[in-house]
Amino acid sequence: MSDNYLLMKAVDYVDDRYLGKYFSMKEKLSHQKIKRKKAIKWSINIAVCFLVVLIAVPVIMHFTQHNTPAPVIKYYDNIAEVRDDLGYDTLYSKLELNGASIMLSYKSDEDGNAQLDSPLQLKIGYSYSTEAGKDAVDYYILFDKDNVDDSYIGGYDEQGLTKIINGVTVHYSEIFDGSNHTQAKFIYEGNLYVIDIVSTDKIDLDHYLNSLLCD
């Protein structure tokens, strides 16, 4: 009998109790392995859920920001009332705007009341009669803006035109879309001013800008 075969035969005589213990332990180890795999799988699932929540919550919050309390709009009869609520003069305080349509939006508090220390946008609509026709002017202030590109009024391509009036850089565009249309904007004392003019005749933009920026 070869040595290997002798050994194989000898091991054949291993007692049944050791074989029984072996098979029992094998089954137990198999169950433990399944439990370990399940635990790892659950851990991964929980980690993935946690990660999804961690990412999804800020994303959802970002897209639902518009669901924050709606701004409150206040209407005014004259520009002096606007100054009273704001607590300071704007460039538009210089203008004679009798009968103008004046509205100012504010952030609202939890109760839906206007927070006067948080103005969002002022809009003054006024019509001027000129020698040739009429100019319909909308004066805007977008509060707390430091960049002219923060304006969303107009909806047309910027032409990149600028002029400097009394040290203030004014960006403007001239559009001819059947009517004369000009929009100018500039930053002044931390706010963005936008003047939007539609006229039946040629627009004298400098007239409007000088009335605001020159003494």
Partner 1 sequence: MATVNETKNTIIADEQIVELYWARDEKAIQFTDDKYGRFLYRIAYNILHDRLDCEECQNDTYRGIWNSIPPNRPEVFLIFISKIMRNIAGMKYRERTRKRKVPSEMTVCMDDLQCTLQSNDSPEAEYLAKELGRHINDYLCSLTDRQQYIFIGRFYMGDRLEIIAGELNVNVSTVHREIEKIKQGLKAYLERNGVYV
Residues that bind partner 1 (CB under 8 A): 1-16, 18-23, 25-26, 29-30, 32-33, 36
Nearer to partner 1, 29 or 55 (CB): 29
Indicate the Cα dihedral angle 6, 8, 14, 16, nearest 10°.
Answer: -130
Q: Strand, coil or helix: what is 59?
A: helix
Work out how close the CB of 37 gets to partner 1 at its nearest, in angstroms, rounded to a whole number: 11
Secondary element (H or E) of residue 44:
helix 16-63
Nearer to partner 1, 19 or 46 (CB): 19
Residue by residue, what is the 3-state secondary structure of 122-163?
A: EEEEEEEECCCCEEEEEEEEECCCCCHHHCCCCCCCCCCEEE
Nearer to partner 1, 14 or 214 (CB): 14
Work out how close the CB of 1 gets to partner 1 at its nearest, in angstroms, rounded to a whole number: 4
Task: Show the CA angle centred on residue 98, arms to residues 97 and 104, nearest 5°.
Answer: 60
Work out how close the CB of 12 gets to partner 1 at its nearest, in angstroms, rounded to a whole number: 6
Work out how close the CB of 13 gets to partner 1 at its nearest, in angstroms, rounded to a whole number: 3
Nearer to partner 1, 37 or 134 (CB): 37
